[in-house]
């Protein structure tokens, strides 16, 4: 029997790469999208998937990507990230623009482009990776929390707009996950990135992939609306217990 198709954006690293691997294990034919084609090509070969270059900030790239994916049952909107960690008074407009482009407009573009195929499957599912930054503010994080709130609103609004259609919507909102996220946020500064996870055990990409796989493998009448997962040592975006 043909495997159902799952599309994972941002599949070249972290949560997206782990999700692509896990969904392949669950029996999906996975289409991996990201800008770093060499990485997704290698992973696709390992899991029997397909790699297609995708820049979610570029409408032409999204259009070409969607044209190459005529069938899809599951879309995991995962591409995203943060840049900078400054108070509003010193916020960098270019960083904010990047965060809105990738997290908000990127999710909008990919969702619009793949929605017809998801609906046509008769049993579609959109899983969007937001963040606990979509649930609460934290100091110095307004650009990212703003973008993640907007991305979450897009996703949660669709849950109502698509009611009655054969499609499920799941929001997965993780706390701290050790990936390339902090390296990107701090412009490649490995020391700053490492400090984010100092003295605690963060989530891994596999932990989040496990939550995504759970939602994706329920019977089709069961809609897991939202999954919030954090390390045991993290109570909120601004409160964590660190050893040492
Ligand atoms: P990551 O390791 O930096 O992965 C980010 C992924 O997004 C990469 O595969 C990257 O691929 C892709 N991406 C970035 N810009 C893109 C673009 N313009 N077009 C297509 N793909 C793009 O970070 P991660 O932690 O796995 O992040 C995945 C998602 O989880 C993000 O939405 C992030 O906001 C969310 N999240 C992360 C955490 C955390 O603590 N790590 C917590 C909550 C939520 P290329 O660079 O190859 O394009």
pLDDT for 45: 98
pLDDT digits (tens, 9 = 90+) for 33-79: 999 999 999 999 999 999 999 999 999 999 999 999 999 999 999 99
DSSP 166: S
Residue whose C-alpha is closest to residue 206's, from 233, 174, 167: 174
Structure token digits, residue 6: 């799952």
Q: pLDDT band at 89, cuts 50/70/90?
A: very high
Where are the strands (E) in the chain, listed by range?
A: 5-9, 29-34, 50-53, 74-77, 124-129, 167-174, 226-229, 234-236, 239-240
- Residue 25 within a domain: yes
How far is ligand 1, taken at its centre, from the CA of residue 3, in Å?
Answer: 26
Helical H segments across the chain, by residue range: 14-25, 37-47, 59-67, 93-99, 106-120, 142-161, 181-185, 190-196, 205-216
Q: pLDDT band at 93, cuts 50/70/90?
A: very high
- Residue 132 within a domain: yes
Range of the domain at 74: 5-239
- Residue 244 within a domain: no
CATH number of the domain at 104, please. 3.40.50.720
- Residue 58 within a domain: yes
pLDDT digits (tens, 9 = 90+) for 1-34: 689 999 999 999 999 999 999 999 999 999 999 9
How far is ligand 1, taken at its centre, from the CA of residue 81, in Å?
Answer: 5
pLDDT for 30: 98
Average pLDDT, the chain: 98
pLDDT digits (tens, 9 = 90+) for 154-198: 999 999 999 999 999 999 999 999 999 999 999 999 999 999 999
Q: Ligand 1 pocket check: which of 34, 95, 105, 187 to mutate, most ligand atoms within 8 Å of Cβ?
A: 34
Helical H segments across 100-141, by residue range: 106-120
Which residues are near ligand 1 (CB < 6 Å)?
9-16, 34-36, 54-57, 78-81, 102, 129, 131, 174, 176-177, 179-181, 184, 205
pLDDT for 223: 98
- Residue 168 within a domain: yes
pLDDT at 213 > cutoff 70: yes
pLDDT for 1: 64
Catalytic residues: 144
| Backbone region of residue 27 per phi and psi (left: phi > 0; alpha: psi in -120 to 50; beta: other values) | left
How far is ligand 1, taken at its centre, from the CA of residue 218, in Å?
Answer: 25
Cα 143 to Cα 14: distance, rounded to the nearest angstrom: 21
Mean pLDDT of 84-95: 98
Cα 240 to Cα 163: distance, rounded to the nearest angstrom: 38
Rounded to 5°, angle at Cα 136 from 133 and 141:
55
Mean pLDDT of 208-225: 98
Domain count for the chain = 1
The structure's pTM equals 0.99
Q: Which residue(s) pair with 7 in the sheet?
A: 31, 75
């Amino acid at each position: 029997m043909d495997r159902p198709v799952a599309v994972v954006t941002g599949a070249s690293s972290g949560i997206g790469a782990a999700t692509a691997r896990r969904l392949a294990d669950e029996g999906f034919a996975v289409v991996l999208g990201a800008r770093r084609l060499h990485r997704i090509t290698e992973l696709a070969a390992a899991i029997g998937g397909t790699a297609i270059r995708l820049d979610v900030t570029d409408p032409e790239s999204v259009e070409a990507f969607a044209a190459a994916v005529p069938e899809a049952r599951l879309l995991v909107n995962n591409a995203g990230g943060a840049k900078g960690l400054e108070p509003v008074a010193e916020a960098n407009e270019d960083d904010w623009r990047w965060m809105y482009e990738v997290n908000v407009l990127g999710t909008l573009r990919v969702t619009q482009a793949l929605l017809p195929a998801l609906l046509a499957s008769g049993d579609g599912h959109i899983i969007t990776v937001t963040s606990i930054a979509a649930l609460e503010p934290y100091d110095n994080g307004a650009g990212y929390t703003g973008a993640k709130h907007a991305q979450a609103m897009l996703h949660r609004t669709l849950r109502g707009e698509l009611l009655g259609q054969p499609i499920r919507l799941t929001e997965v909102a993780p706390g701290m996950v050790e990936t390339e996220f902090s390296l990107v946020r701090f412009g490649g500064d490995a020391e700053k990135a490492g400090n984010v996870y100092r003295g605690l055990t963060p989530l891994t990409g596999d932990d989040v992939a496990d939550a995504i796989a759970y939602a994706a493998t329920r019977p089709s009448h069961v809609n897991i609306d939202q999954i919030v997962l954090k390390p045991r040592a993290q109570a909120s975006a601004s409160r964590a217990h660190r050893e040492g």
